[in-house]
């Protein structure tokens, strides 16, 4: 590797960490209701730690979208990193707000994370950030514009909300009631649905933007496939991955919810997202 390439790579790496630090500070300032140092170090709050880990992962994916793809020259790459990195931070934090108000409308996320240290809420909040990170990665990566990034993000958020609502419809129990009981198993399963849809449509948005009709139609096709397959995947997970057991019974109809079964269900959704993308 030539010296110039080494220096340019080092410069972009420094830019990555700078944008990441900005993203952390922005999130901290948007949540004055808690002190991270106090919650994580003194109170050992695992729910907030889980949520922040999801946010940081989503942040890495978002910034990664600005760095992926072919180079347009060092200075242009830096400009793209700043423009899409900073705007991505704004949209990622907006996703956190939407999760609070729409996906989890019956509880205040901050209250659940701080006062109750609810891991079930933490899992879903983390999933929303990770899914949004995948969406932003796909929207930013490639040859598109600022407008296409915002449009893909907005459509993606609607699809994440729809996926969460659909999962609540197809299950014989009320997700929100279980979340309010701090049922971690249900939180993990719901998180798997959200991450799977975010992963699928994020992968679908990868590549150069061709036209609204062509690129958007492909985006919607993948999303519809993912949504349609959610109940089918749950049934397959029930009969193939957990033969002789009922997912519903394991998640809600026993004294201690089966977190292991929830991991299997969540995995099945995420695995299916990759399978759909590779096969379609």
For 137, half-sphere exposure in the C-beta direction (CA atoms, 13 angstrom radius) is 20
CB atoms closer than 10 angstroms to residue 68: 14
State the pLDDT at residue 169. Answer: 93
Q: What is the CA radius of gyration of the chain?
A: 19
State the pLDDT at residue 270. Answer: 95
Is a pLDDT exceeding 80 seen at residue 210? no
Write down the pTM of the prediction: 0.94
For 51-104, what is each residue's pLDDT tens digit? 999 999 999 999 999 888 777 888 988 999 999 999 999 999 999 999 889 998
**Whole-number Å distance between alpha carbons of 113 and 125:** 10
Where does the pLDDT of residue 36 fall: very low under 50, low under 70, confident under 90, or very high at 90 and above?
very high
State the pLDDT at residue 245. Answer: 82
- Provide CB contacts within 8 A for 247, sequence distance 6+: 189, 234, 237, 238, 261, 265
DSSP structure string for 44-63? --HHHHHHHHHHHHHHHHHH
Q: Where are the domains of the chain?
A: 1-279
- Measured at the CA of 240, the angle between CA 195 and CA 264, to 5 degrees, comes to 35
The mean pLDDT value of the chain amounts to 90
CB 250 within 8 A of CB 185: yes
Is a pLDDT exceeding 70 seen at residue 208? no
Give residue 209's region: left, alpha or beta (phi > 0; psi -120 to 50): beta
CB atoms closer than 10 angstroms to residue 235: 12
State the pLDDT at residue 120. Answer: 96
State the pLDDT at residue 203. Answer: 87
CB atoms closer than 10 angstroms to residue 199: 26
State percent of the chain over pLDDT 90.
Answer: 65
**Whole-number Å distance between alpha carbons of 142 and 67:** 10
Nearest to 9 by CA among 67, 51, 65: 67
For 102-133, what is each residue's pLDDT tens digit? 998 888 888 999 999 999 999 999 999 999 99
Is a pLDDT exceeding 90 seen at residue 189? yes
CB 201 within 8 A of CB 179: no
Q: What is the DSSP letter of 2?
A: -
Helix (H, G, I), strand (E, B) or coil at 151: helix
State the pLDDT at residue 207. Answer: 64
Is a pLDDT exceeding 90 seen at residue 3? no
State the pLDDT at residue 211. Answer: 65
Stretch 142-169: mean pLDDT, rounded? Answer: 89
Give the burial string for 105-139 (b: 16+ CB within 10 Å, else e).
eebebbebbbeebbbbbbbbbbbbbbbbbbbbbbb
CA distances from 168 to 155, 194, 277 (A): 20, 12, 24
**Whole-number Å distance between alpha carbons of 35 and 50:** 15
Is a pLDDT exceeding 80 seen at residue 215? no
Where does the pLDDT of residue 146 fall: very low under 50, low under 70, confident under 90, or very high at 90 and above?
confident
């Amino acid at each position: 590797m030539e010296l110039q390439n080494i220096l340019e790579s080092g410069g972009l790496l420094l830019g990555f960490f700078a944008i990441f630090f900005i993203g952390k500070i922005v999130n901290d300032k948007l949540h004055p209701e808690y002190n991270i140092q106090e919650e994580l170090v003194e109170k050992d709050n695992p729910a907030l730690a889980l949520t922040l880990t999801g946010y940081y992962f989503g942040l890495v994916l978002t910034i990664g979208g600005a760095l992926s793809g072919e180079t347009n020259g060092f200075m242009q790459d830096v400009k793209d990193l700043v423009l899409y990195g900073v705007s991505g931070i704004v949209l990622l934090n907006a996703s956190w707000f939407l999760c609070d108000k729409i996906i989890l409308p019956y509880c205040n996320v901050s209250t659940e994370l701080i006062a109750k240290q609810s891991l079930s809420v933490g899992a879903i909040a983390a999933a929303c950030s990770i899914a949004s990170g995948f969406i932003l990665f796909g929207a930013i990566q490639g040859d598109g514009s600022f407008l296409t990034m915002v449009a893909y993000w907005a459509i993606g958020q609607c699809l994440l909300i729809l996926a969460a609502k659909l999962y609540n419809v197809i299950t014989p129990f009320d997700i929100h009631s279980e979340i309010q009981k701090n049922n971690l198993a249900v939180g993990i399963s719901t998180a798997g649905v959200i991450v799977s849809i975010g992963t699928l449509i994020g992968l679908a948005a990868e590549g150069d933007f061709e036209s609204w009709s062509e690129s958007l139609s492909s985006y919607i096709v993948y999303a519809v496939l993912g949504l349609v397959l959610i109940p089918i995947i749950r049934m397959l997970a029930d009969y193939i991955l957990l033969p002789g057991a009922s997912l519903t019974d394991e998640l809600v109809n026993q004294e201690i919810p089966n977190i292991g079964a929830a991991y299997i269900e969540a995995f099945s959704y995420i695995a299916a997202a990759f399978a759909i993308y590779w096969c379609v």
